[in-house]
Amino acid sequence: MTTPDYAEKIPNNVSLHEDRRLQRALESWQPDFLSWWQTMGPTLPTQDVYLRTAINVGREGWAHFGHVPMHEYRWGIFLADRNPDRTIAFGQHKGEPAWQKVPGEYRADLRRLIVIQGDTEPASVEQQRNLGATAPSLYDLRNLFQVNVEEGRHLWAMVYLLQAYFGREGREEAEELLHRNSGSEDAPRILGAFNEETPDWLSFFMFTYFTDRDGKYQLGTLKESAFDPLSRTCEFMLKEEAHHMFVGTTGIDRVVERTAQVMAENDTDEVAAFGAIPLDVIQKYLNFHYSVSLDLFGGETSTNVANYFTAGLKGRWMEERRKDDHVLGDDSIMVDALIDGEIGQTEVAALTGLNTDLRREYIDDCRGGVTRWNRILEKAGLPQRLALPHQAFNRKVGAFAGIEASPSGQRLSAGEWERRKGEWLPTDTDKTFVRSLMKPVYERGKIAAWLAPPRNGINGKPFEYDYVHLA
Ligand SMILES: [Fe+2]
Ligand SMILES: [Fe+2]
C-alpha cells in the first residue's frame, strides 16, 4: 500500500490500475490539469528545480529530492496507510467502523467539504504565480516552487476523491476546480482570502505562515472524518503542509532578523533607507494576513458545522485527545459576540460553536510565531515587539464584521477607522515600498538586502547550492 507506483502515468498508492474506469477519468483530467499549470502556474521560465517528491507515505524517508523540470513533476495520489480497525471517533456514529464508501445521506455535504478544500489548493498557486520574478535568492525560489507543486498535488488529492467516490457530479466538480481562478470577476475562488493577490515576498511569507496554517487546521478536522479515504488523504497532505508553514515561519524570522540587525547597527527605526523593512510595516502585513485568515474559519456559530460534526463528516482539531464524550450534546462554549453593540462574549451550545473552537486552536498556534519573532528582537537588544491584533480587528466575517476595532480591541466609529486604518494596515505607500525592494537575486549564494540568509539549506544542501536552473 505504501509504495507509490511511478511506472504509471499517474503515480499512486491506491492501486489505480485495478479500477480502469477511474484511471481513465483521471487520465482524461490530467491534460486539463497540465494546461491549467502552464497557463495559471508559475510564470518564471525554469529548466529544472531541486524538488522533493513523495515516494512513500510512511514516517521515515517519504521524500525523494532531485532536479526536475517543473511541468514534469510527478503529481500523484498518495493516501496515508489504512488502519483496518479504525473506528469513528465522534458524533452520532461514534464507535462504528470508519466508512470506506460515502453514505448516500451525506453525499452532498461531503462533496461540498471536499470542493471547498480543493478550491484553495490551485488558488494559492494562482496567487503566487508571479513571485518567481522577484525571488530574494535561489533558495527562496526553490521553496516557492516546492509549495506550488505540492499545492498542485493537493488539488490532485481532492480530485481523486471527487472522481473516485462522487460519480458524474464529482467529475464536474473536478473540471470546475480548474475553471475558477483566483481574483477572477466571473468565476472567482470560493473563499475571500484566496482571491487576494500575493504581490510580494513579505506577503508570501505571511500567507504561508497564516493562511497555510488555516489549511493545516481545516485538514486537521477532515483528517478526523468518518469517511476514511478523506481522512487518509488529509493525513498525508498535512505532512507536506508542514514545509509550507516552515517557509512562512523562517521567512518572517529572516525578515525580522535583518530589520533588527539594521535597527541595532544604526540605532534607528527608520530602516527603509538601508533597504530593510521597517518593523511597523511588518506589523501591518501581519495584521492584514492574520485578520483575513481568521475570517476563513467562518462565523462564531454554525449549525452546518454542528451537523457535520454530529454526522461524523468533520471533527475537531486533535479529536482523540479531547477529554469529553465526543458527542457534545449538553456542552456549551463562550463565543465572541456583539453585546449591545460592544465587543463581548456569549454562551452557546458547544456543537454550534465548533468554528470558534477551531479558530482558538489556530490563534494559540499563531502566538508561537509572534513569540519567536519577538525573541529575535529581544536578542538584538531592541525594546520593540510584534503582536497579534485583536480578533475584532479588520474582520469581514462573523460577529465583528459589522463594526470597526483597533488592533488593541477598542471599538471605533467608521470615521475614526477611516482616519486611522493606515496606521494598522499596509497603505499604498507601504506596499509600493515593499515592492520596490523586490528585485530578483538569482546568483548562487547571494541574497537580497531585506532579509537574512537561512540557517540551513534544503535536504542538507548548503545555502549556495544550485537549487534552481533558470531557462
Ligand atoms: Fe495545500
Ligand atoms: Fe500549503
CA of residue 52 to ligand 2 center, whole Å: 14
Q: Which three cell numbers stand for residue 342?
A: 460592544
Looking at all shown ligands, the one closest to residue 243's CA atom is 2
Rounded (5°) CA angle 364-369-374:
120
In tens, the pLDDT along 129-188 reads 999 999 999 999 999 999 999 999 999 999 999 999 999 999 999 999 999 999 999 999
CA of residue 280 to ligand 2 center, whole Å: 27
Distance CA 135, CA 36 (A): 23
b/e per residue 67-81 (b: at least 16 CB within 10 A)? ebebeebbbbbbbbe
Looking at all shown ligands, the one closest to residue 122's CA atom is 1
In tens, the pLDDT along 357-391 reads 999 999 999 999 999 999 999 999 999 999 999 99
CA of residue 120 to ligand 1 center, whole Å: 7
CA of residue 215 to ligand 1 center, whole Å: 7
Looking at all shown ligands, the one closest to residue 158's CA atom is 1
What is the DSSP track for 334-376?
Answer: EEEEEETTEEEEEEEETTTTHHHHHHHHHHHHHHHHHHHHHHH
Sign of the alpha-carbon torsion through 365, 371, 373, 376? negative
* Cβ–Cβ under 8 Å, residues 448 and 439: yes
Residue that has been written with the C-alpha cell 479529536 in this structure: 319
CA of residue 152 to ligand 1 center, whole Å: 8
Which pLDDT band holds residue 7 (cuts at 50, 70, 90)?
low
* Cβ–Cβ under 8 Å, residues 152 and 41: yes
Average pLDDT over residues 50-70: 84
DSSP state of 440: -
Q: Which three cell numbers stand for residue 39?
A: 497557463
* Cβ–Cβ under 8 Å, residues 405 and 393: yes
Distance CA 239, CA 81 (A): 13
Residue that has been written with the C-alpha cell 473563499 in this structure: 191
pTM of the model: 0.96
CA of residue 124 to ligand 2 center, whole Å: 8
Looking at all shown ligands, the one closest to residue 146's CA atom is 2
